[in-house]
Amino acid sequence: MTPILQAENIEYTFKFRPSFFAAKSIFELGPLSFSLNTGETIAIIGNNGSGKSLIAKTLVGAIQPQKGQISLLGSNENHANKKTRTKTIRMIFQHNQSIMNPALSVGSMLHLPLNLNTSLGYSARRAKIEQTLLQVGLLPEHYHFYRDMMSDGQQQRVAIARALILDPKIVVADEPFAALDPSVRSQTVNLILKLQKELGLAFIFISHNMGIVRHISDKVIVMDKGKLVEHGNTQEVFKDPQHPVTKKLVDAHFNLVSKHFEST
Amino acid sequence: MALLEIKNLSLYIPTGTEQVKALDKVSLTLAAGEIKALVGESGSGKSLIIRSIIGALPETWSVKADRITYDGQDLLNMSRNQRRQIMRRDIAVVFQEPTSALDPSVKISAQIQESIPDEFIDKGFIWQRWKQRQQISISLMHKVGIKDHERYLDCYPHELPTDISQKLMIAMALASEPKILITDDSTRGMESTTKTQILRLLSKLNKTKNLAVLFVSHDLLAVTNMAETMTVLYCGQTVESGKVKSLMKKPLHPYTKALLDSAPSFQVSLPPKSELIALKGTIPTLQHLPIGCRLGPRCPNAKKECVVTPIPRKIHEHQYSCHFPLHFPNVKGPDKEVHL
Ligand SMILES: Nc1ncnc2c1ncn2[C@@H]1O[C@H](COP(=O)(O)OP(=O)(O)OP(=O)(O)O)[C@@H](O)[C@H]1O
Ligand code: SF4
Ligand SMILES: [Mg+2]
């Protein structure tokens, strides 16, 4: 496996007011380091407010870390170039509902990233859009659909299509499964597994769903109060969690699972 | 006798020119002290059932049902006042979005106080009544496992962590000492530790107060940890219901089977990163409902008979609506199964 992304000692600090009258607090993310290989999946877990979404945002460049660096490896293009970065790393956001513009058709929404980041002509773009729609399990007809005509699951697929349309090497996703129904969730999981197998897609995702984390990730990163407290091979972390936070999350999950098997 | 009984409830929603049948002959019962799960995907009609129970539906929608009763009393044909009384005292609902159900501009202490029925407060001077309300509020918070009440009473809703707001919602729902608690998707998006706490809390209330709980969710792991019985809903139709144990062991309906298959935690020997079994397609919109069995277009077992809506059938306590159930029950030899 070849490393494709490397995060070295990234740190991000910001001040915020928890409430109007309270004193300012400081949130410190990191320092944290990890690397991602082609075709690999890393899951980020941890309690609410532990900094998981911040990591995702720094990876896609929505936030600039004050210290350390994130480097994209394995391609000889200029990494400082923002365009290259947008093409290589794509993000699927947490609430696709609010991201998906109700006034735009699926087609125009997918033309946009192609317009901004490629020099493809109209018909080439149309062909690419059609291919991507099929790839995520939608139909060419969906080109003409608007948000309100689609179910949650279909909207989620549009969000995935928008991430995939630039043929990225890495996809970062914040809770991609939380809003999905069981049957659509399995379809999405299968889609990601397929893309990894076929295209060597690397995938980083944040999730509370420990069953899915355990099933699809190769490595896990456990966050607590902005710090990386555990990092390792998924199967090993689930078998033998080291940090108390990890223990709690893993135990709680296995308790639920074992109660299920006791009761059936 | 069932504490809450819904028999053949259909709900019609007008959309432009036509009416859509959002709920199609849904039946559901809840006994006193029972925990029942209502399971179904997004858009299957779970929240519509709740709204039909509490009577919070727009005037233009029409409800048809053989009956909806609470404790033997007909909810559909009683006066508004009587119905409101039952909703105020006996049936409490915790809604899906805790932060939107709480008033963002009012402090927590005031919101809890508000939820305590006047008749619980003895007459007295205004400050004595206030004190009484404050005491009840604090004991309600303790009851749902919020120990450091001081820390939260003076907060506004947005200042609370999600687990605390969910617990507060439950505390407020319990203020009237209801017989039935309905929780709408209260563990969605929670991490496993918080989820465990909420589930424990509900089970405890059920045991100590004999509270009946209708647990609405599509989180199967939570459901099997909580509920004795479950009803599965697909696209506004009840597809299967019975003991959680028997549905998990031997689902008769293809949709229930698909639901179970979708949870990787339930598959004992599933190799990591292997493909999950999934139904094709997605739940149709109300405007494009298939005729007959609504699972039809997605069902791996569908045959031409399925264009006729299957009537509910019952074996023992297990009810299902499917022309070709997965484990065909053999009446003479209960150990033998025929796979269709
Ligand atoms: N006000 C409304 N007008 C028209 N259709 C509606 C309205 N409210 C709900 N529906 C439709 O009724 C169906 C059932 O909705 P409901 O809110 O009961 O789903 P649910 O099972 O609670 O889903 P979720 O798990 O997402 O909460 C959906 O197809 C929805 O689009
Ligand atoms: S009635 Fe037919 S379509 Fe419906 S679930 Fe049964 S087999 Fe499938
Ligand atoms: Mg709902």
Asked if residue B107 is part of any domain, the answer here is yes
For A127-175, the pLDDT digits (tens) are 999 999 988 878 888 899 888 777 666 787 888 899 999 999 999 998 8
Specify the pairing of strand A41-46 against strand A219-224.
parallel
What local confidence, expressed as pLDDT, does residue A261 receive?
Answer: 80
Distances (CA, A) of B83 to A155, B30, B174, B211: 39, 18, 18, 20
What local confidence, expressed as pLDDT, does residue A74 receive?
Answer: 62
The secondary structure of B29-65 as a DSSP string is EEETT-EEEEEE-TTSSHHHHHHHHHT---TTSEEE-
What local confidence, expressed as pLDDT, does residue B335 receive?
Answer: 36
Tell me what the mean pLDDT of segment B128-153 comes to.
91
Q: Confirm if A29 and A11 have CB atoms less than 8 A apart.
A: yes
Query: B189 falls in which pLDDT band (50, 70, 90)?
Result: low
This prediction has a pTM of 0.83
Q: Confirm if B61 and B49 have CB atoms less than 8 A apart.
A: no
The tokens for B290 are 């298939």
Cis before B272? omega within 30: no
Asked if residue B27 is part of any domain, the answer here is no
What local confidence, expressed as pLDDT, does residue B158 receive?
Answer: 81
For B41-75, the pLDDT digits (tens) are 877 889 899 999 998 888 899 999 999 999 999 99
The domains found in chain A, sorted by start residue, are 5-263 (3.40.50.300)
Total domains in chain B come to 1
For A163-211, the pLDDT digits (tens) are 999 999 999 998 888 767 787 788 889 988 998 998 899 999 999 889 9
- Rounded to the nearest angstrom, the minimum Cα separation between B142 and chain A is 23
Model confidence at B323: pLDDT above 60: yes
Query: A72 falls in which pLDDT band (50, 70, 90)?
Result: confident
Nearest CA to ligand 2 atom 1: B322
Domain that residue B169 falls in: 102-177
Closest partner residue to A252 (CB to CB) among B193, B270, B283 is B193
Model confidence at B332: pLDDT above 60: no
Asked if residue B198 is part of any domain, the answer here is no
Asked if residue B125 is part of any domain, the answer here is yes
The residues, any chain, with a CB within 8 Å of residue B253's CB and separated by 6 or more, are: B232, B239, B240, B320, B321, B322, B325, B326
Asked if residue B282 is part of any domain, the answer here is no
Closest chain B residue by Cα to residue A235: B272
Beta carbon pairs, A and B, within 8 Å: 131
Model confidence at B195: pLDDT above 90: no
Asked if residue B132 is part of any domain, the answer here is yes
Distance B43 CA to ligand 1 centre (A): 5
Closest partner residue to B42 (CB to CB) among A181, A212, A263 is A181
Q: In a mutagenesis test of the B interface, which of A146, A183, A214, A264 is the best target, namely the one with the most B β-carbons within 10 Å?
A: A183
- Looking at chain B, the whole-number percentage of residues with pLDDT higher than 90 is 53
Highest mean pLDDT among A44-48, A72-76, A192-196, A213-217: A213-217
Asked if residue B228 is part of any domain, the answer here is no
The tokens for B99 are 């932060």
Contact A178 B189 (CB under 8 A): yes
What local confidence, expressed as pLDDT, does residue A264 receive?
Answer: 62
Model confidence at B122: pLDDT above 70: yes
Closest chain B residue by Cα to residue A136: B281
Query: A73 falls in which pLDDT band (50, 70, 90)?
Result: confident
Asked if residue B109 is part of any domain, the answer here is yes
